[in-house]
Amino acid sequence: MSKRKLVIVSHAAGTPEIGPNLRTYYLGQELKKYYQIRVFGSAFFHKYFELPKNKYRSNHTNINDVEYFWLSSLPYRHSFAARLLNQFSFAVFLLFKAPYFRHCDAVILSSPPPFAGVTLVVLKKIFKFKFCLDIRDLWPEILGSLGGEGRSFTLFYNFTEYILKWIYLNSDSVISVKEGDLKYIQEKYSVSHEKLHYIPNGIPKTSLSNSIIKDVSIESLQIAYVGAISDYYDLDTIIEAMELSFKAGLKVQLDIFGNGKDLNRIKERIENIPNVSYCGLISKDSVLGVLTEYDFGYLGLKENIYNDHGISTNKLYDYWNIGLVIIAVLKSKRNPVTESRSGFSFENGDSLGILDLFANVSSGKISRELLTTMKKNGRRYLESNHTYDNISNDYRIILEDKT
């Protein structure tokens, strides 16, 4: 019996070799057991470690029995307008691949950006496939939260809202990695409750760590941050807490791993803070090995309306996987750190609260037993809710639904 045909479309169709945004890759690897899968992505995306054509010597290749097409799209650097042209060009070039959609049974669009959804709604009306919209980040809300302003931006924002409503209403299913997004989408865009689904992000089951969770060393607290270095991830709050802890004579060390547009500013900021170190960029394959040397993982997110609906960040899965106590600085109605009971959560700017945490751990007021329990809670929560065998099974239920 031949497999049904599934197409996955993602502007940022990453792989372990070119990175990042691996949701598309992991879904393909799990769902290929049941479907013949093609993936369409953009040949240019600023977060790729290496362009697909350079890595695979072609923009068309087969990776572990999943066929990949990276479509031509306009390159860009720092210009927001050029980035939008890249995204629009991807949607246009996708239309030229219409023959590949003629006999497919279902299509998943993993957004942002959403513009390829216009192409796919048109093709859905022609070829009658099932269309699922998979939302990793809310557009255009995230753009506003990152500082977009001005008349041109307002026009673009309103235009994007208009086309998104059309895409939502013409999709068969709307899936979000953050459960809180669903109610917002339902109310703002008048999407029926029946087509809304929550399927979180996660990691492959094969990536689960089998390391033994160790007790916290309270003599010297070791904290790691792994990820992008930008204002969005609020490193300033933890750095301020580290400076205060050094002045208070507490034995606490923060090591920062990563890269990003704020790197030079952060390096200058920590230059005279002895208990904070910048340790460079590490590969995805090396993250878990590095994190075994630490007891705490830092998760910071800038306060904005976008995060009110929930949090989905890959670094949290790495911290949970290795068994770290989470120090979270964020504001959200759905906080995964408090829901999983895997750490401590503070509001943005609350460096004094973090200082009190360090002091209470160092003095034993917060016991080793509690910290070890938090470590185990995090790994258990990851195993129960965020592995791609479970995620893909949830997807199959939606894809096979005949209603």
Most confident range (mean pLDDT) of 47-56, 144-153, 301-310 is 47-56
With 0.75 as the threshold, say if the pTM is over it.
Answer: yes
Cβ-contact 161, 185 below 8 angstroms: no
- Note the pLDDT tens digit of each residue in 88-121: 899 999 999 999 999 999 999 998 788 899 999 9
AA identity, residue 379: R
22 vs 31: CA distance, rounded Å? 14
Q: What span, in angstroms and rounded, lies between the C-alpha atoms of 359 and 356? A: 5
With a pLDDT cut of 90, the percent of the chain lying above it is 59
Parallel/antiparallel/unpaired status of strands 4-10 and 343-346: unpaired
Mark 78-94 as b/e (b = at least 16 C-beta within 10 Å).
eeeeebbebbbbbbebb
Mean pLDDT across the chain: 89
Q: With bands split at pLDDT 50, 70 and 90, how would you rate the model's confidence at 144?
A: low
Give the integer Cα–Cα distance in Å for 68 and 310: 31
Q: Identify the structural domains of the chain with CATH numbers, from first to last.
A: 4-203+388-400 (3.40.50.2000), 209-385 (3.40.50.2000)
**Which amino acid would we find at residue 288?**
L
